Amino acid sequence: MAKVARGKRSATEFVSYTMVLAALLILMQVLGFLGILNRNFGWDLSFVSELVTGVSIWLTFLGIGQGLVDGLHVRVSAVSDHLRGWAKRAHAWLVLAIWGAFFGVLAVTGATAVQRSLELGATTLTLHWPSAIFESAIPLGGVVGIIIVVQLATRLAKGRSFMDLEGLQENL
């Protein structure tokens, strides 16, 4: 399988997830442009801002996991830079545990919100779609994050580090 230039992920792994995020970003930009046309030409496209919001929710919650993989989240390395040996590994496990807990809370509370939304029959204001369509990005983002944390934990258990300055993708 072809490899990506910087990381050790296969081209298929890189393309599949990154392309979904890129497609959502492009869709959000196209919808934003339609919103501008809506204001300037007086077209009746009131649903556009609702779609832009929904797509940005999906992009945000699916992008959290990608940011973890690429090492793009804010990190305070003042502690980890001075640790060595077992302390550095313990710190890495603690970081993974915190990320896992975050994604777990995201998945559970998101699923609860989606379930509640479905029970109430909540819909979006202009499109009248079930609001659970947009809200489902929250638990899905949590599940994707948990999968990524498990993958990183597996690599850490095999003795690989993921807390270097080059970002996580270098070790994936």
Which element (helix H / strand E) includes 11? helix 11-41
- The answer to whether 146 touches 111, Cβ cutoff 8 Å, is no
Q: What mean pLDDT do residues 8-26 have?
A: 70
Name the 3-class secondary structure at 122: coil
Name the nearest CA neighbour of 35 among 47, 27, 20: 47
Distance from C-alpha of 167 to C-alpha of 145, rounded to nearest angstrom: 16
Residue with tokens 């809370």: 105
| Radius of gyration of the CA atoms of the chain, in A | 20
pLDDT in tens, 20-60: 888 888 998 898 888 888 777 877 777 888 888 888 888 88
pLDDT in tens, 94-137: 888 999 999 999 999 999 999 999 999 999 888 889 999 989 99
